[in-house]
């Protein structure tokens, strides 16, 4: 069972990539988010809630197995939290907008603006997942602010 948890927590092995494993692991969130956007908003909230409920114990156990605090190899938190960045934003089913959502999510996850850096300090599966949730919320806020402008001026 430990091997299965580690395999999933490391993004089916993407977390073992030596350079920027979080970014590679986050790529798994793109098809997940794209799929989720095909559902109603209420279903999207249910999907996100399910993903987060599943992610916390998986990341907690994987952290125990790997040792240390939030090991870089654990990327399930990234790909399972990324869909929050596009939650309810139907215009994101555009490849360019999805790419922007991904870039914003990674920017906030890497730079960890307040309070993300403090949330991560909670430790265990809770801290591992919630810092990515907050990064996704920041990305969502930026997207929600710029999408009306994109619809009005940039859509072709």
Summarize pLDDT for 85-110 with one digit per residue, the tens.
Answer: 999 987 678 898 899 999 999 999 99
pLDDT(23) > 70: yes
pLDDT band for position 150 (cuts 50, 70, 90): confident
Q: Where are the domains of the chain?
A: 2-154
Three-class secondary structure of residue 136 per DSSP: helix
- The pTM assigned to this predicted structure is 0.92
Q: Give the orientation angle of helix 29-36 with respect to helix 41-66, to 10 degrees.
A: 160
CA 137 – CA 101 distance, rounded (Å)? 11
Which class for 26: exposed (0-12), middle (13-18), buried (19 or more C-beta within 10 A)?
Answer: buried
In this prediction, residues 77-85 reach a mean pLDDT of 97
Nearest to 115 by CA among 96, 138, 92, 95: 138
In the predicted structure, residue 131 carries a pLDDT above the cut 90: yes
Percent of the chain with pLDDT over 70: 97
């Amino acid at each position: 069972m430990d091997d299965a948890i580690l395999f999933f927590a490391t993004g089916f092995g993407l977390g073992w990539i030596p350079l920027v494993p979080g970014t590679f692991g986050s790529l798994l969130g793109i098809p997940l988010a794209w799929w989720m956007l095909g559902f109603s908003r209420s279903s999207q909230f249910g999907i996100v809630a399910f993903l987060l409920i599943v992610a916390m114990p998986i990341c907690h156990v994987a952290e125990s197995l790997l040792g240390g605090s939030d090991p870089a190899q654990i990327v399930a938190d990234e790909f399972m939290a990324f869909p929050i960045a596009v939650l309810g934003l139907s215009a994101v089913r555009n490849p360019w907008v999805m790419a922007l959502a991904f870039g914003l999510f990674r920017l906030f996850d890497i730079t960890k603006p307040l309070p993300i850096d403090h949330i991560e300090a909670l430790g265990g599966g809770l801290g591992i997942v919630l810092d990515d949730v907050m990064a996704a919320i920041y990305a969502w806020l930026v997207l929600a602010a710029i999408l009306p402008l994109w619809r009005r001026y940039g859509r072709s």
